[in-house]
Amino acid sequence: MTFEGFPDEGLVFYEGLEADNSKTYWTRHRDAYDSLVKAPLQALVDELAGEFGPAKLFRPYRDVRFSSDKTPYKTHQGAVVHPEGRGSGAWYVQVSADGLMVAGGAWRLESDQVARYRRAVADDVQGPRLQAEVDRLAAAGWEIGGERLTRVPSGYSADDARLDLLRHKALHASRRWEPADWLHDRRALEEVRASWRDVAALNTWLADNVGATSKEPRPRR
């Protein structure tokens, strides 16, 4: 299947799901999800796989076991690419009633990865490289995010250079577009491709300096 854009009806499907997040609505509109949301997103990531690697589409069902919000369905569809053998640094794309979102970086790091990340941030060579890349992305309109401490990390000083980056326990960059005509044609593919290329240097820094964890994976919630 060739990617031809995200149909407007797919966004309308999510508007309805936001208003009625129930099994009844989902069952009645499951065909719309499959053909107007899931299929176009799969086609998009398939076309990008040659450059970035194969993607995993997330399940549309929420894990409500540990949440006070018991609505059963996600109101967006996302896909992620984890480059094989690199450990840290991923690409992400998401479509919803709010439009399109793309991102790159690390969303969750284990304690051994956080320790390596902070050592690299404090390093006189690798730290400035990351700071320059984060500053470049922010200036280009990317939102810099990731779980972070409010206090100074143990073993570091409030006077340390790059203290803001040292506080991070995860680091990623994202950008969003509201619904627009180009979202419904192949221009959406080119926006995702260009954005993923733009965030590739951040992923490379994370892969080179943080890598994979040696800990058992935590259950996802």
Alpha-carbon gap, residue 175 to 166, rounded angstroms: 23
Task: Report the pLDDT value the prediction gives residue 218, as an integer from 0 to 100.
Answer: 55
19 Cβ contact list (under 8 Å, min separation 6): none
- The H helix count followed by the E strand count for the chain is 9, 6
Alpha-carbon gap, residue 203 to 207, rounded angstroms: 6
Instruction: Name which of 12-16, 60-64, 119-123 the model is least confident about.
Output: 60-64
Q: What is the pLDDT of residues 88-97, one digit of tens each?
A: 899 999 999 9
The partner residues of 208 in beta bridges, in order of sequence, read: none
- Predicted TM-score (pTM) of the model is 0.93
| Residue among 211, 191, 200, 207 at smallest CA distance from 173 | 200
In the predicted model, what is the mean pLDDT of residues 50-66? 93
Q: What is the pLDDT of residues 131-171, one digit of tens each?
A: 999 999 999 999 999 999 999 999 999 999 899 999 999 99
Task: Report the pLDDT value the prediction gives residue 221, as an integer from 0 to 100.
Answer: 45
Q: Count of CB atoms within 10 A of residue 5's CB?
A: 18
Alpha-carbon gap, residue 41 to 197, rounded angstroms: 18
Q: What is the DSSP string of 22-75?
A: SHHHHHHTHHHHIIIIIHHHHHHHHHHHHHH---EEPPSB---TT-S----B-S
CB-CB contact of 13 with 39 (8 Å): no
- The torsion angles phi and psi of 116, rounded to 5 degrees, stand at -65, -40
